[in-house]
């Protein structure tokens, strides 16, 4: 059995407790017909994720994360075979016990692009950037309206957050300074945020597209035995419907990591450029925005948000 979890704080305390979670995971695997197989927990993840033998992955979501479970279930079912990069096939999903939900999916083979990156030759890095651009373009081009929904299924565009995109941006803008202050951003940066966002070229009526929101090396899989080709795109629980430019935040920060040449290759394959100041604005408005962390990770030379936009999201 899995314990009752009613708050995010309780979830944070329970998720690391493998001795508490494993019996419930094993019982669920037996119920789903994949019991008796090696159960190996992945070290990463904000929720418990297990490799079930060599062919399946089981992801568990406590009650406060139930919406994430439903998002992952719906998006995986919708994406089946639609992208140029493989995505996990949905095997089963539903409610378990004490408000927990689960998603059982196929396991994609290869290794994570993030730990593999130092070993990837430059030529293959450029091809990976190209393939990422094509995959992202294909994702954003998908029709998520009612006409694309499976019979009896809720249209993806209506099922995913945030619903009202302009209202979402307004909320994010109103809390932008407070969020970064809470994360420890120095005052010299904080005082620039209101004026920068006021002048940011946010589109009034952007295209509504399916967004991964965390399209980054940590969620990409590659196979060194196959010339470092991409063999998977995973983790769709934070997916949203919104402006495609929003997805380029994680791309610029964590896939190409402020490399203007690689970002240029990626956007050439994507098929259109993006204004660096727009991407910097979405960096500040992103639900997971943490500018102090980005500054520590990427160590830019810029001292203004305008210059930072060019340094992180400019292309060559």
Q: What is the pLDDT of residues 28-41, one digit of tens each?
A: 999 999 999 999 99
Q: What is the pLDDT of residues 147-179, one digit of tens each?
A: 666 666 678 888 899 999 999 999 999 999 999
DSSP string, the chain: -PPP--SHHHHHHHTT-HHHHHHHHHHHHHHTT-TTS-EEE-S--SS-EEEETTTEEEEEE-GGGHHHHHHHHHHHHHHTT-SSS--PPEEEEEE-STT-EEEEEEPPPSEEHHHHGGGS-HHHHHHHHHHHHHHHHHHHHS--SGGGSPTTPPPHHHHSS-SSHHHHHHHHHHTHHHHHHHTT--HHHHTTHHHHHHH----SSPPPEEE-S--SGGGEEEEGGGTTEEEEE---TT-EEE-GGGGHHHIIIIISTT-HHHHHHHHHHHTS---HHHHHHHHHHSTT--HHHHHHHH--S--SHHHHHHHHH---
* Confidence (pLDDT) at 206: 79
* Confidence (pLDDT) at 46: 87
* Confidence (pLDDT) at 150: 65
304 pLDDT band, cuts 50/70/90, is very high
Mean pLDDT computed over every residue of the chain: 95
pTM above 0.75, yes or no: yes
């Amino acid at each position: 059995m899995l314990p009752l979890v009613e708050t995010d704080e309780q979830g944070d305390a329970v998720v690391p407790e493998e001795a508490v979670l494993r019996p419930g995971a094993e019982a669920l695997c037996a119920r789903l017909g994949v019991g008796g197989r090696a159960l190996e927990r992945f070290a990463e993840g904000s929720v418990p994720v297990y490799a079930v033998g060599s062919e399946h992955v089981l992801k568990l979501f406590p009650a406060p994360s139930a919406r994430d479970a439903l998002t992952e279930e719906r998006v995986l079912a919708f994406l089946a075979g639609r992208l140029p990069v493989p995505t996990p096939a949905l095997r089963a999903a539903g409610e378990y016990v004490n408000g927990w939900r689960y998603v059982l999916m196929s396991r994609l083979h290869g290794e994570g692009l993030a730990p593999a990156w130092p070993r990837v030759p430059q030529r293959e890095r450029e091809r990976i950037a190209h393939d990422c651009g094509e995959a992202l373009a294909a994702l954003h081009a998908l029709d998520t309206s009612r006409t694309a929904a499976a019979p009896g299924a809720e249209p993806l565009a209506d099922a995913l957050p945030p619903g009202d995109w302009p209202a979402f941006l307004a909320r994010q803008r109103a809390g932008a300074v407070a969020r970064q202050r809470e994360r420890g951003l120095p005052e010299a940066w904080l005082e620039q945020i209101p004026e920068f966002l006021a002048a940011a070229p946010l589109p009034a009526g952007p295209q509504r597209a399916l967004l991964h929101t965390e399209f980054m090396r940590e969620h990409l899989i590659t196979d060194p035995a196959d010339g470092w080709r991409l063999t998977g795109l995973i983790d769709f629980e934070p997916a949203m419907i919104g402006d495609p430019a929003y997805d380029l935040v994680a791309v610029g920060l964590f896939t190409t990591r402020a490399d203007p040449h690689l970002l240029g290759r990626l956007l050439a394959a994507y098929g259109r450029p993006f204004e660096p100041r727009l991407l910097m604005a979405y960096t500040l408005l992103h639900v997971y925005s943490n500018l102090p962390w980005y500054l520590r990770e990427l160590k830019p030379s810029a001292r203004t948000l305008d210059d930072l936009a060019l340094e992180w999201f400019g292309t060559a």
